[in-house]
Amino acid sequence: MRRANAGRLVVLPEVGIERPKLSLRGVGKIYRNARGEKVHAVDDVTLDVAPGEFVCLLGPSGCGKSTLLNMFAGLDRPTAGEVLIDGRPVRGPGPDRTVLFQEPALFPWMSVVRNVEFAMKLIGVPRSERRDRAMFWLGKVQLGRFADAQPHELSGGMRQRAALARALACDPEVLLADEPFAALDAQTREILQDELQNVFQETGKTVVFVTHNVREAAFLADRVVLMSAPPGTVVVERHVTAPRPRHYEDPALSHVVREIHEHLIKEVEKVVASEIGS
Amino acid sequence: MSRARSVLRELWPLAALIVLLIALWQLVYVTGFYNPAVFPSPAQVWDSLTQHVHDGTIQSAVAHSMARLLIGFCVSVVLGTLVGIAIVASSVVQRSVGRLMIGLQSLPSVAWLPLAYLLLGIGESAVMFVIIVGALPSVALATAAALGQVPPLLQRAGRTLGARGWGLYRTVVFPAAIPNYVNGLQQGWAFAWRGLMTGEIITYGAALGLGQLLTTAQQRLDAPEVIAVMVVVVAIGMIVDLAVFGALDRRIRARRGLLLPAVA
C-alpha cells in the first residue's frame, strides 16, 4: 500500500482482476441528510471482486460500506463513478444478486418454505421443483423441520438462516450481506459464520460481506477491504490465505486479525475525534 | 369445551356490564323520576322487542338495512381502496385528493343528505349515497396509511429477490399492508353504519329499515319501541365488529405473530 505504516500487509498490484464479477470504478456518493446538509459518504472507491471470491468490507460506522453494498445490490446509485457486474452497469436490483440484510426481512405472512420459494416463484420455476429446491436449502441451513412454521415462531438465528436459504435458493451469482449476524448473540453468530463458510465452499458464489467485526472478516474472507473514516475510501486490502474450512483457533487468523485491527483502530479514532470536534 | 370457555371468558365483562346497566335503568324507573310514558322500564322494552320480532317487523327492517349497508359499504371499499392506492402512488394525488379526503372525513354524513335529496330525490338512492360518501374517505385514508406503513426493508428484500413494479405491489406491499387495512375497513364499516342510520331516520321514500322504524316509533310516541330498535342497532354493531372484523383481525395477526400473548 501507499502508506509507510502498512507494515506487513500485502500490497495489491495496481493491475486488477482480469474478469471481475463486480467492480466499483471511482465510485463516490454524496447525499443530503434530513437537515438538507450534504454528506460525503463515499469517496473515489475502486474495487474489483473476482468470480467466486469472498470479499469483506470492513470499516468504522458511517464509512459507507453499506452504501457500497447497496450499490452492488442496485438499491442505491453512486453520484460519481460506475458500478459494474460482469463489466456492465448495474441497473436496479435483481435475483442474480440477492441480499442478506442485518434483519432477516422474512415476509411474516408466508411460511418459512414459501419465503424460500419467493424468488423462484417470480422467475417461474415450476411448483414441484420450487418446493424441492426450497427444502434442499432449508436442509442446508438445518431448518428442514421448520419449513411450515411462520417466521415469528423461529429464533433470531433461525430466521437469519431462513433468510440465507431464501437468498440462495434462486441460485444467484452473487450473495451480498450487510452485517447479517451483527444482531445475533456470540454463539449463534459463530455457528452461522461456520454455516456460511460451508455454503460458500460448496457453491463457490461470489460474496461481498459488510461487517465491522474484524474477527468475522478474517474468518470469512478471501480478502478484507478496510475502509476509512468518512468519507469512506479504501485504506488497505489484506488477502487471507488461511486454508478452509477455517477455525477460530487457527493462529494464522489471529495474526491477520491483529494486523487489520491496528488499522481499523486508527480509522475509528479519526471518527471519534471528528465526532468530539464537531 | 375449551372453545365455549374461551367465548365465555371473552364475553363475561360485556354481559356483566349489560346486567349492571339494566339494573341501574330499572332503579331509575322505579324511583319514578321520569314520566313512565317517555321512560319505559326494561321489561316494557323487552316486550316491545319480542313483539316486533314475533310479527317480523324487526327482521324485515334488519334485512332492508343490512342490504343497503352491504351494498353501500362494498362500493365505498372498492372506491376508497382505489383512491387510497392512488394517494400512495402519486404525491400530487396525495396533496390534492388526500387532503380533500381528510376534510371530507370530518364532515358528518347528515350534512350530505340535503345535497343527496336534491341530486337523487328523497329515496333509496339518497340513502345509498350517504352511506358511500360517509365511509369512502375513511376507507381511502386507511388504505393509504396501511400502504404507507409497509416496512421499507420488506420492499427492499422483495426487490432484491426479483419483484418489481406491479409484481412488488402484488407480492409484497399489499400482503404486508393487510393487517392495518383490515383495521381501516373496520373503521369504514362504523362510518357506513352511522351513515345508514342517518339516511334512514330522515328519509321517508325508502323501504322500512331500522332507521325508519325509529322515526315511526317516535311519531307514535312509542318509547319502548324506540329503545328496542336502538338495542338492535347497537347489538348488530357489536356482533359485526366482534364476529367479523375482530375475528379476521385476530386471525391475521396471530398468523404473523403480531398478537400479544394472552394474559393468563
Mean pLDDT over each residue of chain B, to the nearest integer = 91
More confident residue, B44 or A263: B44
Best A122, A153, A174 residue to mutate vs chain B (most B CBs within 10 Å):
A122
Over 70: is that where the pLDDT of A16 sits? Answer: no
Distance CA B82, CA B93 (A): 12
Over 50: is that where the pLDDT of B264 sits? Answer: no
pLDDT at B1: 57
Considering the domain A4-96+174-277 in this protein, what is its CATH number? 3.40.50.300
Contact yes or no for A150 and B172 at CB 8 A:
no
How remote is the C-alpha of B87 from its chain's centroid?
23
pLDDT tens string A102-116: 999 999 999 999 999
Chain A neighbors of B172, CB-CB under 8 A: 107
What is the least distance, in Å, from the CA of A7 to any CA of chain B?
A: 40
Residue type, A82: E
pLDDT tens string A54-77: 999 998 877 889 999 999 999 999
pLDDT tens string B226-248: 999 999 999 999 999 888 998 99
Residue with cell 367465548: B7
Locate the chain B residue with the closest alpha carbon to A171: B161
DSSP state of A182: T
pLDDT at A63: 82
Contact yes or no for A95 and B156 at CB 8 A:
no
Over 50: is that where the pLDDT of A4 sits? Answer: no
Locate the chain B residue with the closest alpha carbon to A153: B257
Enter the C-alpha cell of residue A98: 440477492
Contact yes or no for B256 and A153 at CB 8 A:
no
pTM above 0.90, yes or no: no
Of B162, B175, B176, the CB nearest to A119: B162
What is the least distance, in Å, from the CA of B251 to any CA of chain A?
A: 11
Residue type, B54: H
Domain ranges across chain A = 4-96+174-277, 106-171
More confident residue, A110 or A6: A110
pLDDT tens string B127-145: 999 999 999 999 999 999 9
What is the least distance, in Å, from the CA of A237 to any CA of chain B?
A: 28
Distance CA B204, CA B263 (A): 50
Of B153, B176, B257, the CB nearest to A101: B153
Residues 6+ apart with CB under 8 A from B219: none
Contact yes or no for B153 and A122 at CB 8 A:
no
Share of chain B above pLDDT 90, in %: 78
What is the least distance, in Å, from the CA of B3 to any CA of chain A?
A: 23
Over 50: is that where the pLDDT of A1 sits? Answer: no
What is the least distance, in Å, from the CA of B256 to any CA of chain A?
A: 5
Of B153, B164, B258, the CB nearest to A105: B153
Helices (H), chain A: 65-73, 112-122, 127-140, 156-169, 186-203, 214-220, 251-277
Tell me the pLDDT band of A36, cut-offs 50, 70 and 90. Answer: confident
Of B154, B172, B257, the CB nearest to A150: B257
Specify which of A9-23, A147-161, B193-207 reaches the highest per-range mean pLDDT. Answer: A147-161
Question: Of A207, A247, A200, whose CA–CA distance to A223 is shortest?
Answer: A207
Contact yes or no for B161 and A108 at CB 8 A:
no
Interface size A-B, in CB pairs within 8 Å, comes to: 71
Distance CA A194, CA A188 (A): 10
pLDDT at A8: 44
Contact yes or no for B156 and A118 at CB 8 A:
no
pLDDT at B261: 59
Considering the domain B63-256 in this protein, what is its CATH number? 1.10.3720.10
pLDDT at B263: 46
Mean pLDDT value across residues B189-217: 89
Residues of A near B (Cβ–Cβ under 8 Å) read: 73-75, 92-95, 97-99, 101, 103, 105, 107-109, 118-119, 122-123, 150-153, 166-167, 170, 176
